[in-house]
Chains A and B, each alone.
Chain A
């Protein structure tokens, strides 16, 4: 899988947890800090490449060589630093893929202006949960599962591999239910690189290289992900086997 090497700016409240999660998923994480205390704690936690820099100096940023990383993640505790960092990184390396955290609506806007590819608002998701608690009590528990737990019902994205039996299938006719998963949406490269929900009503033709997002029990999703690697022929054989 691509995007395996991440440069993480900030090892404070958020950085610490994010770094740990990424390492657990098999990512290589390098850490940059400005604060001496956080820098030390990152070292103690066993990260090999931890750098202490002065964020305001362009030379030091350049010395990190951010372009060799797949993603840059700005999760400093101080939102001003995040904006400043995003801006400097984007000015120095316009092609960089920056993910940043924000704690207010204004900061979110600034971060996008500064060139962040993705901005995650601290309160957006939680505030919506209040709405769903008030209006849709049953959906609430489901929503909680989506982000908080690694088991239970969740989403998973999967790229359709070359030669998969899904190649050429239409989204309206293919029976995802048979695999105990629900197709939520997809990136159909014939129609552009944007994500489209299945509820928008378009009947997509699936091709190799398209990315589909499915929902289901995590175990079922994993099985399905393995299964779509099979070719049509293999599927037929598997079905025959199942019958006999």
Chain B
């Protein structure tokens, strides 16, 4: 038996396919950044909504048999499969067995798989006892129509929706922070209701025809203290009414207390919730920018070009600057980007991320570069350096592009003084003015451009200035008019956007710049 368990565990452990399937399923079920999870969620939500709708509709109307079959078999089976998968991916039983086997070998004691099995099963059991797992389990059972009380199972299907409703989870999360206050309140409420209930029971049980039991008295007390006051039970003696007066006053105080606790919990967490929303929205895009620091350079960056709202986020330590950024209409959150956890919040696995470190402080920029690169080599980092001596350090840290605003501006001033006319041309090109923007025209295989010579492209007629060809790693500046355009060339031109667009239009569908 033991060896059989071991062999099976080893087989699974060595099977690449098994492991990859398991990681994929786990990713799909539990990782909110997985791009396919959205479709999975939508499918499950669809099943829930339809099955609830069928049941509600059925109360008054008759439904066709196939809908019943859909509800009882199809939905339930899918839910059951989902439930089993969730338990399956919760932990790795095989790994525990293998580890136990290795330990046993090492210590030269007999191998006994029951211990790791027990441990793994216990963990799974623990998971099964969490509220969401219990709801999942109960939601499997189809509402058995003939027994009215079993219809309650439909409720669990509705509850299952909770897993997919983020706002409700956030609501619960917020209230958890006020656990102490809320429990105090609940205890106080229970105490007062019990006292008042007992009092009215003792005082009026004989005199009041509506109060037959202690349960009636408690029910009355709760209805009164909550200021709901149905009026189906009301005190008839002056003593009972005095108790009512006290209860009503306490009730108003308690309700306002409860309200204030919940409101304050929310107002404390409101900023955080908002920021989470921004981060979540960003994480859904395939590629986005993380801009560290909201200073002059960031402002300039936004002024020069339109950036899609869903494709960037600004992290800034200083709350005042964040406030300013928000007023200017940008997505900004208060975060210290140099902390590792902060970058981990982003979808580093599935999205292409570019980080712009535009903080004026080199030390912080280097720190951010390092933590980004240690998280994933695929994150592209564009960094601003204060001086040339820093460039080496940034390169060492792994920055992909290094900007030197101070040095650039020094050179620009130099040019402005020594060659004023050229300065205008250079300035226009460098800040990408409309008449002087550099564009890239990509030539793919079988494009109409392939095989043409430069002369026949007649850039001049399009009012474009042809600069040269990027071919592989080489840049051919101003090649001869007889040069033939090859596949995968990139043609560089200067000109207005409309000229470039017109050129591309007339030369077939040439891929754009991005």
Binding site for B on A (CB under 8 A): 3, 6, 13-14, 17-18, 21-22, 25, 27, 71, 73, 75, 99, 101, 103-105, 118, 120-143, 146-148, 153, 155-157, 172, 177, 180-182, 184-185, 187, 195, 197-201, 211, 213, 215-217
Contacts and interface: CB of A to CB of B under 8 A. Distances in A.
B465 A199 contact: yes
A147 B297 CA distance: 18
Contact of B411 (A129, A131, A134, A148): A148
Interface in B430-481: 430-432, 435-436, 438-440, 460, 463-467, 470, 475, 477-478, 480-481
A22 B418 contact: yes
Nearest to B514: A135
Interface stretch (B104-112, B157-165, B206-214, B489-497): B489-497
Contacts of B411: 21, 147-148
B296 A123 contact: yes
A103 B408 CA distance: 13
A99 B478 contact: no
Interface stretch (B119-127, B270-278, B298-306, B365-373): B298-306
B413 A14 contact: yes
A138 B440 contact: yes
A89 B431 CA distance: 29
A131 B148 CA distance: 65
Given A136-B513, A155-B422, A182-B478, A120 B416 contact: yes
B513 A131 contact: no
Contacts of A125: 405, 408-409, 412, 427, 430-431
Interface string B390-413: 000000000001011111111111
Given A128-B304, A130-B403, A135-B514, A195 B424 contact: yes
B422 A127 contact: no
B499 interface: yes
A153 B414 contact: no
Interface of B: 289, 296-297, 299-301, 303-305, 354, 356, 382, 384, 401, 403-432, 435-436, 438-440, 460, 463-467, 470, 475, 477-478, 480-481, 490, 492, 494-496, 499, 513-514
A132 B427 CA distance: 15
25 contacts: A21-B414, A25-B414, A25-B418, A73-B413, A101-B413, A120-B409, A123-B405, A125-B409, A125-B412, A125-B431, A132-B432, A133-B382, A134-B354, A135-B514, A136-B438, A142-B438, A143-B430, A146-B430, A147-B412, A148-B408, A172-B460, A177-B480, A199-B463, A200-B435, A201-B463
A75 B409 CA distance: 11
B425 A213 contact: yes
B408 A156 contact: no
Contacts of A217: 477
A211 B423 CA distance: 12
Contacts of B440: 136-139
A111 to B, nearest CB: 13
Nearest to B495: A199
A61 B428 CA distance: 34
Nearest to A195: B424
Given A140-B401, A156-B419, 10 more contacts: A13-B406, A120-B413, A126-B404, A137-B440, A141-B475, A155-B425, A182-B466, A182-B467, A197-B494, A216-B477
A99 B408 contact: no
Contacts of A73: 413, 417
Contacts of B463: 199-201
Contact of B409 (A14, A104, A182): A14
Contacts of A124: 300, 304, 430-431
B409 A101 contact: yes
A99 B417 contact: yes
Contact of A215 (B403, B467, B480): B467
A118 B466 CA distance: 29
B278 to A, nearest CB: 21
Given A128-B430, A131-B304, A172-B460, A18 B438 contact: no
B403 A126 contact: yes
A215 B466 CA distance: 11
A185 B435 CA distance: 11
A148 B480 CA distance: 27
B297 A126 contact: yes
A181 B478 CA distance: 7
Contact of A136 (B413, B422, B426, B439): B439
A130 B422 contact: no
B486 to A, nearest CB: 15
A148 B430 CA distance: 12
B495 A14 contact: no
A127 B478 contact: no
